[in-house]
Structure 1
Amino acid sequence: MIVVVVVGLIALLFWAWRRRTRRDSALRAPIGDVPGSATVIAEFPSLYVATTRHGQPLERLAISGLGFRSKADVRVTDVGVALDLTGQPTMLLDPARITAVAQSTVAIDRVVEPDGLVCLSWRTDDGTVVDSYLRPQDASARALADAIRGILSPSSTGPDA
């Protein structure tokens, strides 16, 4: 009986994830390497937590390459923010695509000390605004958020810009 319940739960989880990936299949992250001529301003070994609907930190999106928690190297450059997630192609967010950067405490199943996460709001290829949550490992969330703010124009750094 227990085996049947476990198999049923696994099947239900698989079905739910497949449904979510179909729902989010139109959302695409900008894939691309940082140009060799770019200046690296700061690097942050981090934990990538999740990408969610904008303003909905508990609604995970299944964007290709961003569906699962992962170690990440975050590079802030003069041409944008590069996210290198383990086993995934580099995602490059140019400053025009970033709508806001803030600090947060909660995302999906991750709760940390106050303002221990960085919430990076950006536009997918189709213009949908999403939030990606990062947890710096060797620096404060404030240091990462400030580094990203440094490459943004003043009009794009507001809470809902």
Structure 2
Amino acid sequence: MTREALLTIMIGLALLCLGLLAWSWWRRARRDAAYPAPFGELPEGARTTATFTTLYVATTRHGEPLERLAIRGLGFRSRADVTVTDKGIALDLAGKPRMTITPDRLVDAAQATVAIDRVVERDGLTRITWRVSPDTLVDSYIRPQEASARQLADAIRPLLPTGNA
């Protein structure tokens, strides 16, 4: 086999792999299109209790940290600022509109070690469990940059419905 033929085969295989990756992401995005992203502002008069500079890691199916969801605006890792207020949590991901998770959607705030593309030291991630729809729970993983994952989880816990704190 000539060098040119081998190069042509390798380029063809690379293009096939890239095509399969694009196709699988398109199918995943279509599958998850039913889940609405929580775009919006915090309610009027919300009092800020804490702010954190973070790295947004992923949003996954609840209890399945290796199954990324392609929810619009939450499909990719990003730098983010998290603002915790008395009326909810605001996620400001780089280049995306603000997302707000209100207390009625919050289920839990805990620490984690593993998410789809990130393994960190023990309890180095904050896992926020919330309702993306009335019957669907998801877990969003956030890695604080200048504080601990425990500090972020502790700041969120007062917002949890009674009995989940």
* Selected match of 1:132 from 129, 137, 140: 140
Q: Does 1:45 align with 2:53?
A: yes
- Which SS does the other structure have where 2:12 is aligned? helix
Distance 1:25 1:153 in 2: 28
Q: Does 1:6 align with 2:17?
A: no
CA contact (8 A) 2:57 2:142 kept: yes
- Residue in 1 that maps onto 2:82: 74
Distance 1:117 1:64 in 2: 22
- Residue in 1 that maps onto 2:131: 123
* Selected match of 2:36 from 6, 28, 35: 28
CA contact (8 A) 1:30 1:91 kept: yes
The sequence identity of aligned pairs, in percent, is 57
Distance 2:158 2:131 in 1: 19
Give deviations 1:89-108, integer Å, cap 9, x for gaps. 11111111011111000000
CA contact (8 A) 2:59 2:141 kept: yes
Distance 2:125 2:73 in 1: 20
- Residue in 1 that maps onto 2:24: 16
Distance 2:144 2:50 in 1: 12
Q: Could you tell me which amino acid in structure 2 is paired with residue 105 of structure 1?
A: T
**Which residues of structure 1 form unaligned runs of 5+?**
none
Q: Does 1:59 align with 2:67?
A: yes
Q: Which has the larger radius of gyration?
A: 2
Give deviations 1:10-46, integer Å, cap 9, x for gaps. 0000000000011111011221112451100000000
- Which SS does the other structure have where 1:146 is aligned? helix
Q: CA deviation at 1:152?
A: 2.1
Q: Where do 4+ consecutive residues of structure 1 move more than 3 Å? A: none
Aligned residues: 157
CA contact (8 A) 1:28 1:126 kept: no
**Which residues of structure 2 form unaligned runs of 5+?**
1-8
- Residue in 2 that maps onto 1:108: 116
Distance 1:34 1:154 in 2: 21
Give deviations 1:86-145, integer Å, cap 9, x for gaps. 111111111110111110000002000000000000001353100000000000000000
CA contact (8 A) 2:106 2:159 kept: no
- Which SS does the other structure have where 2:67 is aligned? strand
- Residue in 1 that maps onto 2:5: none
CA contact (8 A) 1:30 1:125 kept: no
Of 49-58 and 123-132, deviating more is 123-132
